[in-house]
Structure formats: structure tokens, C-alpha cells
């Protein structure tokens, strides 16, 4: 009997499930998991991260140059931002409603909550000013995504305006981007093992003991994560593109799984970029514009988490939240999710900002700290899936989604993600 080859998606899912099982077996031996298994996960993650800065910069230069005219760029930018804002606001709304219905904080004991310090929200002016890099090389060294985006778009557009002389620059960037995509493809072959090695130590260190006391808040967050993905993204993708809901989730799944196991949307970016173009057929110009931007500012999962946790903490302290305060949470959590970096644990720091905006005790966050990693995995998976949906919607509405090229539309039987 001929053996059927397992697809990469199946292998990654298998790595994830096995990782959870093996992680549970290592709960009482987490040092072994941390010493012998974790390094392989770090190795995999470092390999992906290696490609981020050159990939984002180069593909965005090519993307901006191929869009060329500033007006079109502005329209795409406006559309993208609108999609980000609306989906994030919906995300928090779903989180707030879920937390108000399921009341995860009622009956929680607050003993042992340690003091925490709030992160100051940067002023809007400072945020805007910091988008412009005074030294683009420094921005690349530091991996400052918004600054890299700004410089790449600006220089890409300038390159088209000067015509012939700008072509060499665009060509070099095109070549760099292609090389980075190839590297990502090779690294993706290791994804099943990488995902496994990343997840084992997380589960081993966050075993049932840490999770059980706060199981309700974890469940409410995950219910809200699923609802948002199922309602908002499914609707958007179905409404604006010809991609079915099943195709959407299946096609996005390697990125979702890597986001889940790494808790880093930045770390997942090279994979997301590749999937959006190859699997869904979105043009490079749209993908390279929407995804790096989304990875930096569009964090629906983080917004849900902040909404749920704020209500949870209020309930745990027996502080009733008025509708007005919940609207404040909606607004600050939208801003906080924009300011959250796509790295593990960043959303937790921003949670403090949300709590202080409605005068909730920051000590409450200490309760969340113990389970934050588990929540981080889910919210990062939503963040990344949300960005995939944004690229599809913007691509489809701009006529820059080539269904013929999309492997998920049956053009390539083996889902080469």
C-alpha cells in the first residue's frame, strides 16, 4: 500500500498536540524540558527572526515601488487602518460581553496579589514623531518596525519617481526579498519540530497547578478568541473575497500555530508574509504593506485579553464597572493594543495602562501574571490570524488577490505553506 505523505500543516498540528502532551508529562521535571528541549525551540525561532528585518524592509520597498502613486498608497493605507480599527473595537466588544456574561472574576480570592507598576502611555505626539527614523540604519539594527515601514515606503515611492535611476534599488530589494522568502520556506520545514520544542517547556512550566485556579478567565478569553475569529474574520473574508471560511482557517493555520507556540506576532511575520502571498494569492505590494503594519499595531487578541482581564479584575475586587467605564476600557484597550509590541508578554504591560484608565487596582494584574503565557499564546494566534484576514480583505477589494495563484483555491494540491 502506498503511504500518503503528511502535509506540513498536519505535521505542525501534530507537533503542537504532541508538545502539549509531552509538556504535561514534564510538569514535575520542567528543568529537563527547559534544558534539553527549549533550546531547539529557540533555535527555530531565531532562524525565523533572522529574516524579519531584511524581509520586511526589502519587500516593502518593492511593494511601495510597485504601487508607485502616492494616492493609491494613501487609499490602501486608509482602508487598512479602518479594517484594523473596526476589527479591534469588535474584538474588545466581544471580550467585554463574554466577561460580563460569564463573570470569571466572581468568587476569586485576591490573596497574594503583589504590587505592579503601570506602564505610562506615550503621548500621541511622541508616538507620531517616533515613526520617523532619524537614522534608518539604527531603526533596522533595533528592529523598530514602524520606522522601518516609514523609510521603506518613502524610499520605495521615491525610487519610482526618479524612474530609471531608482530601478537598481528596487531590483536589489526584490532579490533580497526573494532570498528571504526562500530561507523562510526552508525554515518552515523545521516548523513541526520547532513548534513542539517551543510548546513543551511552556506547558511544563505552566502545568495544571498554575492554570486551574484561574481556569475560568482562561476559558472566557479563549471563548472570546474563538468567537472573534469565527464571527469577525469569517464574515470579513467571506464577504469581501471568494475564499471560503474553511479555506481561510486551513490556509492560515501554519501561521496561527507558529504564533500560538511562539507568542510573538513579530516572530511569525516571515511565515505570515509567505502564506498570505503563496497560499492566498495576495500581491506582494499589499502583503508587504498590510502585514508588517498589522504586526505592529493590529492586535485583536490582545485587545480581547485586555477587555476580559479588566472586567475580571473588577469582579475579583468587587468593583462594579459602569457602562461609561467599559467604553473607556474599549477606547484605551484599542490604543493599548496599537502600542503593544508583537513580542511575548507585551500585552501584559499594556494591561496596566488599561487598568489605570478606569482606576482598577494594578495589583489585580498579579493574578493574571501567572497565567499570562497561556493567554499570550491564544491572543497572539488571534493577532496573526487577524492580520491574515486584513491582507486578504484589502487585497481582494483592491483587485490584488490572484485566485489563480492561491494554492488554497485548489491550484496546488499539497498546501505548500
Interface residue with ligand ASP, options 343, 366, 370, 397 (CB under 6 A):
343
Nearer to ligand ASP, 228 or 379 (CB): 379
Burial code (b: 16+ CB inside 10 Å, e: under 16) for 178-206 equals eebbebbeebbebbbbbbbbbbbbbbbbb
Which residues lie closer than 8 Å to 388 by C-beta, 6 or more apart? 248, 251, 252, 255, 272, 275, 276, 280
**Longest Cα–Cα distance in the chain:** 69
From candidates 147, 261, 265, 325, binder to ligand ASP by CB under 6 A: 265
Contact call for residues 342 and 295 (beta carbons, < 8 A)? yes
The interface region with ligand ASP, picked from 5-13, 218-226, 263-271, 399-407 by CB under 6 A, is 263-271
Subset of residues 379 to 408 that bind ligand ASP, contact rule: CB under 6 A: 379-380, 383
146/408 with CB nearer ligand ASP? 146
Residues 348-377 that bind ligand ASP (CB under 6 A): 376
Give me the residues paired with residue 282 across strands: 401
Pick one of 204, 299, 329, 338: the residue that binds ligand ASP (CB under 6 A). Answer: 299
In the complex with ligand ASP, the residue whose CB is nearer, 376 or 400, is: 376
Of 89, 102, 90, 113, which is closest to residue 311 (Cα–Cα)?
102
Task: Name residue 273's beta-bridge partners.
Answer: none
Q: Judged by CB under 6 A, which of 23, 133, 347, 378 binds ligand ASP?
A: 347
- Residues touching ligand ASP, count (CB under 6 A): 16
Measured from the CB atom, the residue of 121 and 170 that comes closer to ligand ASP is: 121
How many C-alpha atoms does 289 have within 13 Å on its Cβ side?
31
Least distance (Å) between residue 301 CB and ligand ASP: 7
Cβ 265 to ligand ASP shortest distance, Å: 3
Stretch in the footprint of ligand ASP (CB under 6 A) among 126-134, 248-256, 259-267, 317-325: 259-267
Nearer to ligand ASP, 148 or 299 (CB): 299
Cβ nearer to ligand ASP, comparing 253 with 383: 383
Q: Which residues of 300-321 are buried (b: 16+ CB within 10 A; e: fewer)?
A: bbbbbbbbbbbbbbbbbeeeeb
Q: Which of 136, 344, 361, 378 binds ligand ASP (CB under 6 A)?
A: 344
Rule CB under 6 A: choose which of 345, 366, 369, 373 binds ligand ASP. 345
Residue nearest to ligand ASP (CB): 347
- Complex with ligand ASP: residue 66 or 205, whichever CB lies closer: 205
Pair 104, 368: CB distance under 8 Å: no
Closest separation in Å from C-beta 379 to ligand ASP: 5
Please report whether residue 229 would count as binding ligand ASP according to CB under 6 A: no
Rule CB under 6 A: choose which of 253, 261, 264, 334 binds ligand ASP: 264
Return the residue of 155, 263, 285, 385 that touches ligand ASP, per CB under 6 A: 263
User: What is the distance between the alpha carbons of residues 351 and 368, in angstroms, rounded to a whole number?
Assistant: 10
Region of residue 315 (left: phi > 0; alpha: psi -120 to 50; beta: else) = alpha
Of 37-45, 96-104, 193-201, 336-344, which segment contacts ligand ASP by CB under 6 A? Answer: 336-344
Main-chain phi, psi angles of 407, to 5 degrees: -65, -25
Q: Which residues would be at the binding site for ligand ASP (CB under 6 A)?
A: 263-265, 299, 302, 340, 342-347, 376, 379-380, 383
Amino acid at each position: 500500500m502506498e503511504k500518503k505523505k503528511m502535509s506540513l500543516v498536519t505535521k505542525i498540528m501534530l507537533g503542537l498536540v504532541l508538545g502539549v502532551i509531552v509538556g504535561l508529562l514534564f510538569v514535575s521535571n520542567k528543568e529537563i524540558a527547559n534544558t534539553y528541549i527549549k533550546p531547539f525551540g529557540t533555535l527555530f525561532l531565531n532562524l525565523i527572526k533572522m529574516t524579519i528585518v531584511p524581509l520586511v524592509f526589502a519587500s516593502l520597498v518593492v511593494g511601495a515601488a510597485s504601487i508607485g502613486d502616492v494616492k493609491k498608497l494613501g487609499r490602501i493605507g486608509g482602508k487598512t487602518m479602518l479594517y484594523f480599527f473596526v476589527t479591534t473595537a469588535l474584538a474588545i466588544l466581544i471580550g467585554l460581553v463574554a466577561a460580563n456574561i460569564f463573570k470569571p472574576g466572581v468568587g476569586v480570592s485576591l490573596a497574594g496579589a503583589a504590587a505592579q507598576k503601570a506602564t505610562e502611555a506615550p503621548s500621541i505626539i511622541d508616538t507620531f514623531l517616533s515613526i520617523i527614523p532619524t537614522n534608518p540604519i539604527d531603526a533596522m539594527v533595533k528592529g523598530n518596525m514602524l520606522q522601518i515601514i516609514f523609510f521603506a515606503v518613502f524610499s520605495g515611492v521615491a525610487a519610482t519617481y526618479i524612474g530609471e535611476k531608482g530601478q537598481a534599488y528596487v531590483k536589489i530589494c526584490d532579490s533580497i526579498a526573494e532570498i528571504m522568502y526562500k530561507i523562510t520556506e526552508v525554515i518552515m520545514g523545521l516548523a513541526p519540530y520547532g513548534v513542539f520544542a517551543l510548546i513543551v517547556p511552556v506547558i511544563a512550566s505552566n502545568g495544571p497547578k498554575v492554570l486551574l485556579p484561574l481556569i475560568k478567565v482562561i476559558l472566557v478569553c479563549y471563548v472570546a478568541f474563538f468567537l472573534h475569529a469565527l464571527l469577525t474574520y469569517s464574515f470579513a473574508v467571506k464577504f469581501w473575497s471568494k475564499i471560503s471560511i474553511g479555506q481561510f482557517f486551513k490556509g492560515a493555520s501554519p501561521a496561527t500555530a507558529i504564533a500560538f507556540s511562539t507568542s510573538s506576532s513579530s516572530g511569525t511575520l516571515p511565515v505570515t508574509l509567505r502564506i498570505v502571498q503563496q497560499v492566498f494569492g495576495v500581491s506582494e505590494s499589499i502583503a508587504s504593506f498590510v502585514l508588517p503594519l498589522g504586526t505592529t499595531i493590529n492586535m485583536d487578541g490582545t485587545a480581547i485579553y485586555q477587555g476580559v482581564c479588566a472586567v475580571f479584575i473588577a469582579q475579583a475586587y468587587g468593583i462594579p464597572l459602569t457602562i461609561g467605564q467599559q467604553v473607556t476600557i474599549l477606547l484605551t484597550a484599542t490604543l493599548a493594543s496599537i502600542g503593544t509590541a508583537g513580542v511575548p508578554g507585551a500585552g501584559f504591560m499594556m494591561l496596566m495602562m488599561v487598568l489605570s484608565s478606569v482606576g482598577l487596582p494594578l495589583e489585580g494584574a498579579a493574578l493574571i501574571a501567572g497565567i499570562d503565557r497561556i493567554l499570550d499564546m491564544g491572543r497572539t494566534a488571534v493577532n496573526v490570524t487577524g492580520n491574515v484576514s486584513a491582507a486578504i480583505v484589502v487585497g481582494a477589494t483592491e483587485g490584488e488577490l490572484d485566485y489563480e495563484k492561491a494554492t488554497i483555491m485548489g491550484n496546488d494540491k499539497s498546501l505548500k505553506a
